[in-house]
Amino acid sequence: MTRIRRGFTLIELLTVMAISAILLGLIIVPLIQSFNLTRLAQTYAAVQSTARQVADRIAREISNGSSVRDNSGAAGMVAVVVPGQDGTPTEVLLPYAKIDIVDPAAGDPSAVRDGAFVNPDTGKADPTMSVPRGQPVLPAMPGLSLTRYFVGLADPLQTAPDGTVGPGRYTNPYDGLLMVKSGAKDNLYVLYRAQVPVYRRNATTGRVEPNTDLFDFDGTGQPVLDDPFFFVLRDSEVGTGAAAAKIARIRQWLRYANVVTELNRFDSIQPVYNKATRAVSYDGNVPRLIPLVQFKPTQLSKEPATGMVSIRLGEESDSMTSYGPDVYRTEFGAWVDASIRHYAYDAGQTTGPYQVGRFGGGVPGFSVFAYDPTSGGSDLTGGTELFDVSAYSDAVATGSPYPFGNAVAAANGRSGWMSDVNLRNLFAPFTVNAKTGRILTSFGVDEIGDWDHGGTNNWPTTSTGDTVGPAGAAANAQFTDPTRGINNAFNKHYLENENLRGVLHRFIDLRVTPGAGSVASPLHPDPTIGFRKARIVPGSEVVIGPDQNPGANYGRPVRYTRTTRTPGRNQYRINYNDLAEPDYSLFGLSNPPADYDPNDFVSAVFQPRFKVGYLQLNSDPATPLPSGNIEVYYRFQFSQRRDVFEVDYDTRQVMSVLLTIRSYPQSSYPEPQAVTLTATGTVRNFTR
């Protein structure tokens, strides 16, 4: 009996294999895809968590710092090196990719034994401590260290097989934008945090010195804190004498720094590219890059600055209702790139020309410009320069004489505006304190002048004249010569105007009283000499004259006191603003001329009592002023009661942190997972 063996034919086997492959594909492919999606979700969650933690930490440290260093321009730039269009290493500067938070002083820097700081935990001198440690010293003042966040290469130095050290190279094997995709180990740009001592105590000398391990130095021996290449060994430095020192500094930075993002698969830069074609944008050979970590001052627009109190106890006068502040303040300080618009509504101005304080426009530094909206263009580029604020600040900082006069002369030398009466009438200069966020519209009378005046103080000075009253002057003509001083002028007018004797004063008209060196007063009524908007800052005056009280000090210089009543000995009364003028016919006088006339009695003697700068002195006919000089210091301001200052500025007191974290979950998926967060940190300890 023949036995028949049964089996599968080749066709059957192929059929089964095909069906199995289809079934496995239906099962395994979704399984693999689910793994990929899980990996993507895990990466996205990790990116979110990292971004949130980093942003919150930076904002918290900004709030706890004593200040934040200016990181505009080169001060906030970090250099990165990436492949250019031709593949060669190319340097790119990233703006706002670095922030320096000045740490508050901690511990007791005077607690030193044996050349070392005392450790507050052990109470022993610790030679390993380069800066004091412990609780912050309140009120918070800047310490010796700073906390720096910056974008840098994960491995900034590479060691060759022969042991030589060279620059690290950016390696992104994932997205194929700046270089081809590969299986190479990545070397991406990450975010570092480093708390470093800028100054430290020298264990040998005991003196606090700049940290030579971390910073290079400028010509004055101070540490260079704003070098964009501080963490980059440049190709041009390799093989030079500076290379060894640079490598040592980078290694010290690595010792102090730690990566606050992930070390691998996280990148903090992104090239600008077309998503459809994936073509990178280049400027010549240099790729356009976006820093994914940016530390920027917060921008505020059109903030009206608040005028400080201008009416204070003890400064009452007949014109106090028209007092205007000379100090204006914004909510935040630490200005960066501010522009200030000044509108003078007290003069009835609702439209028309106004002033703008700004940088640029072909003028070095910060200046005040007059701008007419009807002229067209932008007030940030057009207008006539009136006052060079930078020249004023430089003169004050260096102790140079006459900063106001030199600031006016610098602007006039470039624009020639002083001969234009309309611009003189609009002129209301101001200075700025960017750190405190303040605008100051007043200046000292001793700041007027130029180099030809030999550095004199320029206080308005007037001789008291001959020490006789009208009774003693009646028989001697020289005692009524008004050019000889205050007593003589009073005697003349007292004797010649019998019907006005009860209202005549010994006085100084600060409008026409020149300073030392014959410097004209800013209050001068002639519009081609003085300035229409100039007023005296209430309470700023200092009056020095001979002591009028009998005794051992009679005639010696003393400071007079202000009164709002009729002045007695060693007293004065002053007008800070113009007062309402009376009907002159009630005094038997004709109206004064439209322009000041020094030879007209009403214009030069009677009308001034209603004008700014009128300084009334003891006018008892029987008590002449002692022989000597009366010197007057005052500050003059240009702002008025209803003036408005509108400020556009970026403030380092409130820093904005824009943080985008990109993570590459796997090599087969070129598009990274990205999360962008924004946080703000206010420097709570900022000293205004």
Final residue of a structural domain among 291, 308, 339 = 291
Same-domain check for residues 515 and 403: no
Residue 58 lies in a domain: no
pLDDT the model gives residue 3: 61
Residue 424 lies in a domain: yes
Over its C-alpha atoms, the chain yields an Rg (Å, rounded) of: 38
Same-domain check for residues 364 and 513: no
Residue 406 lies in a domain: yes
Mean pLDDT of 364-369: 92
pLDDT the model gives residue 184: 85
Same-domain check for residues 618 and 520: yes
Same-domain check for residues 338 and 413: yes
Residue 674 lies in a domain: no
Mean pLDDT of 318-344: 83
Residue 47 lies in a domain: no
Percent over 90 (pLDDT), the chain: 44
**26 or 96, greater pLDDT:** 96
Residue 45 lies in a domain: no
In 3D, which of 200, 60, 56 has the Cα closest to residue 685?
Answer: 60
pLDDT the model gives residue 310: 57
Same-domain check for residues 206 and 174: yes
pLDDT band for 314, please (50, 70, 90 cuts).
Answer: low
Please, what's the b/e burial string for 255-294 (b: 16 or more CB within 10 A of its CB; e: otherwise)?
ebbeebbbeebbbbbbbebeeeeeebeeeeeebebebbbb
pLDDT band for 112, please (50, 70, 90 cuts).
Answer: low
Sequence length of the chain is: 688
In 3D, which of 654, 649, 674 has the Cα closest to residue 99?
Answer: 654
Token output for 569: 């000995």
Task: Write 419-426 long-range contacts (CB < 8 A, 24+).
Answer: 421/527, 421/528, 423/370, 423/384, 423/386, 424/527, 424/528, 424/531, 424/532, 425/527, 425/531, 425/532, 425/533, 426/344, 426/353, 426/355, 426/370, 426/386
Which among 238-242, 299-303, 566-570 has the top mean pLDDT? 566-570
Omega before residue 139 within 30° of 0, cis? yes
Same-domain check for residues 302 and 259: no
pLDDT band for 616, please (50, 70, 90 cuts).
Answer: very high
Number of domains observed in the structure of the chain:
4
Same-domain check for residues 504 and 560: yes
Q: Where are the beta strands (DSSP E) in 305-435?
A: 306-307, 327-329, 335-343, 354-360, 363-371, 384-388, 431-433
Same-domain check for residues 89 and 227: yes
Separation in Å, CA 473 to CA 485, 492, 566, 622: 13, 8, 24, 11
Mean pLDDT of 480-493: 91
Determine the structural domain holding residue 431 and report its residue range.
298-457+642-653
Q: How far apart are CA 462 and CA 55, in angstroms?
A: 65
In 3D, which of 432, 339, 336, 411 has the Cα closest to residue 381?
Answer: 339
Mean pLDDT of 114-141: 69
pLDDT band for 344, please (50, 70, 90 cuts).
Answer: confident
pLDDT the model gives residue 478: 85
3-state helix, strand, coil in the chain (%, to 5): 25, 30, 45
Same-domain check for residues 191 and 280: yes
Q: How far apart are CA 207 and CA 209, in angstroms?
A: 6
Token output for 218: 């400028």
pLDDT band for 96, please (50, 70, 90 cuts).
Answer: very high
pLDDT digit string (tens) for 431-467?
Answer: 999 888 999 999 999 898 765 555 567 889 999 999 9
Dihedral of CA atoms 203, 204, 205, 209 in degrees, nearest 10, equals: -50
Token output for 262: 């992930």
Residue 685 lies in a domain: no
- What is the H or E stretch that residue 51 is in? helix 10-64
Same-domain check for residues 376 and 319: yes
Residue 430 lies in a domain: yes
Neighbours of 183 (CB within 10 A): 6
Mean pLDDT of 371-383: 88
Kindly report the backbone phi and psi dihedral angles of residue 385, in degrees, each rounded to the nearest multiple of 5, phi listed first.
Answer: -70, 130
Percent over 70 (pLDDT), the chain: 86
Token output for 389: 């604020």
Predicted confidence (pLDDT) at residue 688 exceeds the cutoff of 50? no
pLDDT digit string (tens) for 510-530?
Answer: 999 988 767 889 999 998 899
Least confident span in 8-12, 39-43, 211-215, 547-551:
39-43
Tell me the average pLDDT of the chain: 85
Same-domain check for residues 268 and 381: no
pLDDT the model gives residue 175: 84
Same-domain check for residues 494 and 467: yes
pLDDT band for 209, please (50, 70, 90 cuts).
Answer: confident
